[in-house]
Amino acid sequence: MSLRAPLARKNMAESKQTPDANTGIPEYEYIDVNTKPFHVGSFRDEWLARLRPEDFSFQQEDEETFEANFAAEMGLGADTMAELKSACSIDSLRCHPEDEQLSMDDVPSNPRLKTLIQRKRKQERASSHNIHKNRHDFYADELERLTIGRPPEMGADRIPKGEVLLTINIYHPAVYEKFNFTRPCMTLLMTGSHTLTELRDAICCISDLQVCGEFSKTPDVAPDFISKDHFKSAFFFFEGVFYNDMRFPECQDISITTVEWAKAHNFPQYSQAKMEDTRFVDLKVKVGFPYLYCHQGECEHIIIITDVRLFHKTDCLDKNLYPLLTHKHRSLTQKCAVCHVFIARWYTTNDQFAPSDPCLFCDQCFRILHYDTEGNKLGQFFAFPYTDRGAFN
Amino acid sequence: MDASHKHVKADCEALLARFQQTQSVRFEVFANIWREMKFSQIFRGVVKHEKRAFCHLVLNTAYCYFLPPFSFQIRVGGLYLLYSLYYTQTASPSEQIHLALKDWEEVKKFENNAIDAQHMDAVYILRHLMFCKAFRFTAMPTLLCFQTNKVKERSVLREEFIERASRPQELISSGLLEEMSNVSDLYENMKASVLSQMTTPGDSSFNLIRKDLVSQLSGTVQEFYNWQREKETFDENENSQEDTSQKVCSNRAELLASIKSKAFGEAPETLKSRRHRRVEMNSTTEASAALLNQGYTRILKQSLRKRTRDALLLSGDVQMESASHTRISLLATLDSASKKILKEERS
């Protein structure tokens, strides 16, 4: 009798906690690291249930209407309202006389705020070292400038209000030695109604452009054999479900090996679904948690969904521009060993003409050095088509 | 950007500390402090491609002061800070304030509290921000990238800003006390009826509960509350400035009254949600501390030139010579020309 009572109390306590896997309210699993899994569609519905339609519409309300409504709701007279408006006006925040034109690019002299003191110190240090601007900073906001502030499209091309926007970071393949998990290779913005196949098509990986095979005897035939066309299978892995790409007849289910291995080794059961049938609003994901994208059978990328939110009027509202690229990592390109001007396209080994083994050449230098005027192969060498990492710069 | 996060936080806390000392929740008071500190200069000197990221950082830092567990006055200060930063930022088009879904209830409660206490400027500013679409409705307040490598110093929330603990008052509410007195009366009656039938009624082993439990409990809670108030007014008297006007005092009194009425009233659910979050914070810090690797710190090496210079112990003339240009080319120039060059060098 006494044993049963504590159990009953424990069950009661458990049932009191609301299971938030079913509600769409994201909570931290580990603070500032990632959230618990939540359903994207439910998240959207939760927000839309809490907001009034004018809160998330893209049109700007009329200010006078807003003030009139506010005064009516709070029961304020016209005088009180005018007083309130002037008391809360932004003009009271101005820190310099009205006619003084200040440049916002200079740090003011005699700064009192700690941020400014540190910024000034950093600027002085930077100017004394004469650090050159690097290419990452130079192009940092290039993509952003193209899209932010575009006038909203009208008509069918416009994103409907209340749509969900996801920010997705895609990282370099696991075989890269640098920047494996720190710098994203690219950042994409997707809408909730996009399918996973659209994300897959938007991901640019150079392994898709690689050509397998030795082409020293037939250098002109090479471009017909791009890997992307040969090996079309790919999958995404989100929260225990493998989403396979089955659009083309050549596509195979490459996740089946993992699923069967897991079954045989007492792992939790994984399930499978089709990439082309799943939209982002149907997914149940964790924000900030790494997931997997695998293509070409062995090229694996980590994918992290960094943010999920409702569309705002300052976002790009043209449906045709999505998936939208907002950040791209710029890799150093390998140049030809001969001219140092063009990007390398051929990779040779066992080459008697080359200064090193292996060696990189651009197309022109390669042909001039290794083939005579009729196109016959000269000397001994192996030649492979080379795709540079910076091909997408 | 991580270093500037610390400084931005320090600046915001300095502003809010001064706001707290004024013991007012009026926007004019806040604007005075803002102008005095020339806070809008915080955006000056930011490099072009970092503007948007900096504005995002500043708004994020200010956002946490708008939510519990900070006291009502600090939250109002946080709201004013968000409003001011949003309109003085330099990113164009403006960077939005990220409002997370889990914080929506708190924001609504704050708004209702402000309406009940008739703080019209706070309500107007909040509604104005909604009207101008200054908020982005997100899942989480920041972008999450699974960064377990960086050992983030868990920011210690400033003690003075946190709401005064009112857990005892909220646990022991009037409804609870009534119920307890009912139950204890029932118990006494049952005990009396059972004892009257027994042979040894005077046995002290039957006295298992405290007599007058309910009145003692309410007395203790009242004492605690009075002690808290006295302690606070004592601290304020130590720190207060000379010219605290009567109007401000009455403002504060009505503020306290509104909070007190809420504390003794029904709403234990506010604290429950807050408490839940506190517990969560503690347990996850332990879990994540176990997860985290030893911190990855980046050691900045001095340049080779500097290291060589420091390593070589040059003395006197040799050092001076090594720092200046070589004069070997003077061997091949005419005497008159070389004298001119030497003169220029010396001057």
Task: Report residue A152's pLDDT band, with 50, 70 and 90 as the boundaries.
Answer: low
pLDDT tens, position by position, B286-305: 333 444 444 445 667 778 88
What's the pLDDT at A252? 82
> What are residue A204's phi and psi, to 5 degrees?
-100, 120
Q: Does A137 touch chain B (CB under 8 A)?
A: yes
| Average pLDDT, rounded, for chain A | 81
What's the pLDDT at B310? 78
pLDDT tens, position by position, A85-104: 888 888 888 877 666 666 77
Residues pairing with A293 in the sheet: A236, A301
Q: Does A144 touch chain B (CB under 8 A)?
A: yes
Question: Would you call B40 and A35 a contact, using CB atoms and an 8 Å cutoff?
Answer: no
Q: Does A106 touch chain B (CB under 8 A)?
A: yes
Rounded CA separation A358/A356 (Å): 6
Q: Does A48 touch chain B (CB under 8 A)?
A: no
Question: Would you call A105 and B281 a contact, using CB atoms and an 8 Å cutoff?
Answer: no
**Least CA distance to A140: which residue of chain B?**
B49
Rounded CA separation B30/B269 (Å): 31
Report chain B residues whose CB lies below 8 A from the CB of A93.
31, 34-35, 40, 84, 87-88
Q: Does A142 touch chain B (CB under 8 A)?
A: no
pLDDT above 60 for B272: no
Do residues A188 and A326 touch, judged by C-beta distance below 8 A? yes
Taking each continuous run of H as one helix and of E as one strand, the counts in chain A are: 12, 15
Q: Does A90 touch chain B (CB under 8 A)?
A: yes
Question: Would you call A43 and B147 a contact, using CB atoms and an 8 Å cutoff?
Answer: no
> What are residue A314's phi and psi, to 5 degrees?
-85, -10
Q: What is the arithmetic mean of pLDDT over A158-173?
A: 89
Q: What is the arithmetic mean of pLDDT over A325-344?
A: 86
pLDDT tens, position by position, B171-195: 777 788 888 888 888 988 888 888 8
Q: Does A16 touch chain B (CB under 8 A)?
A: no
Question: Would you call B139 and A26 a contact, using CB atoms and an 8 Å cutoff?
Answer: yes
Greater model confidence, A120 or B257:
A120
Rounded CA separation A286/A128 (Å): 45
What's the pLDDT at B317? 59
pLDDT tens, position by position, A251-287: 888 888 889 999 999 888 899 999 889 999 999 999 9
Q: What is the arithmetic mean of pLDDT over B128-139?
A: 91
Total residue length of chain B: 347
Cα distances from A38 to residues B136, B170, B269, in angstroms, run 19, 33, 24
What's the pLDDT at A81? 87
pLDDT tens, position by position, B81-121: 999 999 988 887 788 999 999 999 999 999 999 999 988 88
Question: Would you call A116 and B46 a contact, using CB atoms and an 8 Å cutoff?
Answer: no
Which of A189-193, A314-318, A370-374 tops mean pLDDT? A189-193
pLDDT tens, position by position, A207-264: 888 877 788 887 777 666 677 777 888 999 999 999 998 888 888 888 888 899 999 9
> What are residue A74's phi and psi, to 5 degrees?
-90, -5
DSSP codes joined into one string, A26-92? --EEETTTEE--EEHHHHHHHHHHHS-HHHH-SSPPPHHHHHHHHHHHHT--HHHHHHHHHHT-GGG
**What's the whole-model pTM score?**
0.71
**d(CA A195, nearest CA chain B) in Å:** 20
Q: Does A113 touch chain B (CB under 8 A)?
A: yes
Q: What is the arithmetic mean of pLDDT over B50-69?
A: 89
pLDDT above 80 for A182: no
pLDDT above 80 for A367: yes
**d(CA A149, nearest CA chain B) in Å:** 6
Cα distances from B211 to residues A273, B121, B201, B219, in angstroms, run 67, 51, 17, 14
Q: Does A107 touch chain B (CB under 8 A)?
A: yes
pLDDT above 80 for B258: no
Greater model confidence, B97 or A332:
B97
Do residues A25 and A46 touch, judged by C-beta distance below 8 A? yes
Task: List the single residue in B8, B133, B147 with the smallest CB-CB distance to A115.
Answer: B8
**What residue has token string 């503020």?**
B255
Do residues B256 and B249 touch, judged by C-beta distance below 8 A? no
Please, what are the domains in chain A?
59-86 (no CATH), 158-328 (3.10.290), 331-393 (no CATH)
